[in-house]
Structure 1
Amino acid sequence: MSDSNTTDFTNPSTFILLGIPGLEKAYIWISIPFCAMYTIAVLGNFTILFIVKREPRLHGPMFYFLCMLAITDLVMSTSTIPKMLSIFWFNSREISFTACLTQMYFVHSFSGMESGILVAMAFDRYVAICNPLRHSNILTNSVVVKIGLAMVLRSGIVTLPYPFLARQWPYCRTNIIPHFYCGHMAVVKLACADIRISSYYGLFDLLSVIGMDVFFITVSYTQILRAIFRLPTTDARLTTFGTCISHVCAILALYVPDFFSSLMYRFGHNVPLQFLVLFDSVYQLVPPMLHPIIYGVRTKQIRGRLLQLFTHGET
């Protein structure tokens, strides 16, 4: 394995992932909570998929969207965390150029898909609260499938320029990435060329995809709150808004770390590198871990099925 940072190459055969620079002596201790969170994320999301598949009463739009979210969380976290743990445990830092670009594509595309699925879930809540009598007619199974395909295509197409842009730059200074995965900006910053087009496209992606999704979610919840405040009693308002709590928590778990991570990588020039990388790891781990916990605790049907499995076994 070569750690040289002065090699002349245009497209390196491998990159070297440093993990979390400056914290190498603490890798074993850092790996313990990271491994625990990843295990919880995998088990939790597979549990959601299993319960929805085996329980006919959960075969509805909200739970189909929840399954899409679980699959997205599994793919996104598995794209980065196993490699990070291999760096911590086995010092396995090499990643091929092609694998690096593939990882980049999966991380950014599934991040966009996750955001789109939260928009779809917001639309489901809007229809369920503002047009409850038409919910089953509006969100049919075919419509849910079309929404899911639209989210996949949108994110897949918008993210496609990332690896192509990264591949075209010459990398003549270093192949060492001070991170635990191949993020778009972490890779292109190594290029010895003017990478403004990559940076601008990243901002365009952030504003057009995430910004648009946040706008649609805001519009949906504005309408939802208007409908809730028109309800006659406080109990009815609280009960109705309670059906949205899980979704609101899922939104915060995704967008808050994503927003601050994107801003710090572009504008946080005085922020210590190890803090940036640690914060990015929060974005990779916390939403996939929290989403099944949030929905498992807050959703009565899933909570009831879980209790049934643990207390009486599968029926």
Structure 2
Amino acid sequence: MRALLFVLCSATVYADEIIVRDADSLRTALRDLKPGTTLKLAPGDYPGGHSVGGVEKLTIEALDPKNRPHFKGGGNAWHFSCCNNLTLRNLRVSGQTGNGLNLDDGGELTKPVTGITIEHVEVSDIGPKGNHDGIKCSGLDGLTIRDCTLTGWGGQGIDFVGCHQSLITGCRFIGKEGFTASAAIQLKGGTSDVIVEKCHFTHAGERPLNLGGSTGLPYFRPQGVKYEATRLIVRDNVIEGSLCAAAFVGVDGAEFTGNTILFPTKWIFRILQETREPGFIPCRNVRIKDNRIVFRRVQVQIDINIGSDTAPETFRFEKNHWFAEDKPQASKPRLPTEEQDGVYGADPR
């Protein structure tokens, strides 16, 4: 049985657990955090604007998972820097003018932060205009974001810059009128070995999935790579609306498989190159397989938007089901390479 060490304000403190019941006791608890601490937050409203640096094995979670503490306003709700093995669970954040959650390596480009888990977190109303992200991640390895909901953001719902060996699973992304969302998920800046699976995107920005992107060279992790992202897997997601379902942007190797695409409004996919530094590879080596794609020809007249300085001839299309709901006889897309075993004109739903 853990010994009661002391009682401070309205926070009850144990050897490794602090029960926080209001904003004042949260500020008190944050002053002297120790590795291995668990903060359990009582229901209620809390201000944003909290920063934590260099604390390992920290857990911040709801005392009552059915009644989540709500962090309102501030530049960021929380900023965590160099916090290995951090867990955030059953929280709400909204109304930030910068980012909802900001997690990074403190600018130590060769020392990634490892072992972060974010689960059952709700993020909403970030920005609303400009490059303001729901969850901003820079220099993180072994990150898991699970069963989170993001609604309304100005830039990206989740933005990875130089993150590796990570998973985004079971999340929901819902665009909101008046917010300048460019993407729901963006993976760039040397990001590699990331899986995005079982997520649902509803009108979630201009590019719900921005696989790659445009990053200033000083921010790449690791330094010196010649791609925005590599070895990405996007599988078993549902993508509704938006200008396109996914954009491949300076990526060198990705798999897009088993997804359901419903009614993009301009293109189905985009193949683009936005970083054109010397030696940078063209967007290439993408496999698009076993997807169900339902669209309307009155909206989608160009199936794939192909930009300059890309390598569309390296894209492979296999066993996709394409259905133009308003014109089934025009379901077969114009692709940069010949598809293997594609199915055209039959409703795959």
Q: Calculate the TM-score normalised by the size of structure 1.
A: 0.20
**Bigger share in strand:** 2
**Bigger share in helix:** 1
Q: Which has the higher contact order (CA 8 A, sep 6+)?
A: 1
